[in-house]
Structure 1
């Protein structure tokens, strides 16, 4: 497991004071990941109904959720975070309940005009995939 992510969530690219919006929370999400992000930023996570711009976004995604809905969610999230803020899709790791097919996030990201990075282990049961607009950074 990536030690930076497992210890303090800095791998997400969030910083102290950042407002991070959380999409599609449910009772199966990793409270450890959530707590580490809140400890790092010093802020509570805000939900998808938050009505102002944010500094970063995490989207919890599981198999069985509609791929077109994921593309729409990515577009909606990107509209509040903009091109400079980290935008992450967090999915159950392969072999875990709710793990999506390997191409689901890639395909939805492409539909939404984004590139999806290689999955990164962010906890024992969850992977994170950072998205960037086409033509932006690494």
Structure 2
């Protein structure tokens, strides 16, 4: 039995599919540390190629922002993601799940995202210890 394109053999959407990552996309990663979900990183790298870091000069299609409570000013980090982000790009804010060290209350994301110029559209399970909030620039605010 073969999997259809973009689907895992068991019929469940792969991590790369859940994140909307396609071959050839430029994906920037911020906040990397030794506690990130390596399976997620591997899935995204397998699909898109090497992840670029925040010093890139490229326009990026997606940003993976690993953020833990205490990592600094979340508002400033969200604003920083906007500079290299393509007009139709997406920011994935990855935070530790409830009960894990560094957990961020969902209400904090809900409050800060609009102030930073982003709109939360969904949340996905990003692995054993991480949750990901999908953030986009609202349609009326997108770069041309």
Same topology, TM > 0.5: yes
- Which stretches of structure 1, 4 residues or longer, exceed 6 Å deviation after superposition? none
Equivalent residues of 1:13, 1:86 under 8 A apart? no
Structure 2 residue aligned with 1:85, among 86, 89, 96?
A: 89
Aligned length: 129
Equivalent residues of 2:15, 2:126 under 8 A apart? no
Equivalent residues of 1:14, 1:86 under 8 A apart? no
> How do residues 23-62 of structure 1 correspond to structure 2 at under 5 angstroms?
23-41=30-48, 43-62=49-68
The root-mean-square deviation of aligned C-alpha atoms, in Å, is 1.6
Equivalent residues of 2:88, 2:137 under 8 A apart? no
Secondary structure (helix, strand or coil) at the match of 1:86 reads: strand
> How do residues 1-138 of structure 1 correspond to structure 2 at under 5 angstroms?
3-4=12-13, 7-41=14-48, 43-66=49-72, 69-135=73-139
In the aligned structure 2, how far is the partner of 1:119 from the partner of 1:55?
A: 18
Higher alpha-carbon Rg? 2
Q: Which structure has more RCO (C-alpha within 8 Å, separation ≥ 6)?
A: 1
- Give structure 1 stretches of 5+ with no counterpart: none
Higher helix fraction: Structure 1 or Structure 2?
Answer: 1
- Give structure 2 stretches of 5+ with no counterpart: 1-11
Higher strand fraction: Structure 1 or Structure 2?
Answer: 2
Secondary structure (helix, strand or coil) at the match of 2:83 reads: helix
Structure 1 length-normalised TM: 0.85
Once the 2 structures are TM-superposed, how far is the Cα of residue 102 of structure 1 from its aligned partner?
2.1
For 1:99-124, what per-residue CA distance to the aligned partner results, in whole angstroms no more than 9, with x for missing partners? 11121212221210211134211211
Secondary structure (helix, strand or coil) at the match of 2:105 reads: coil
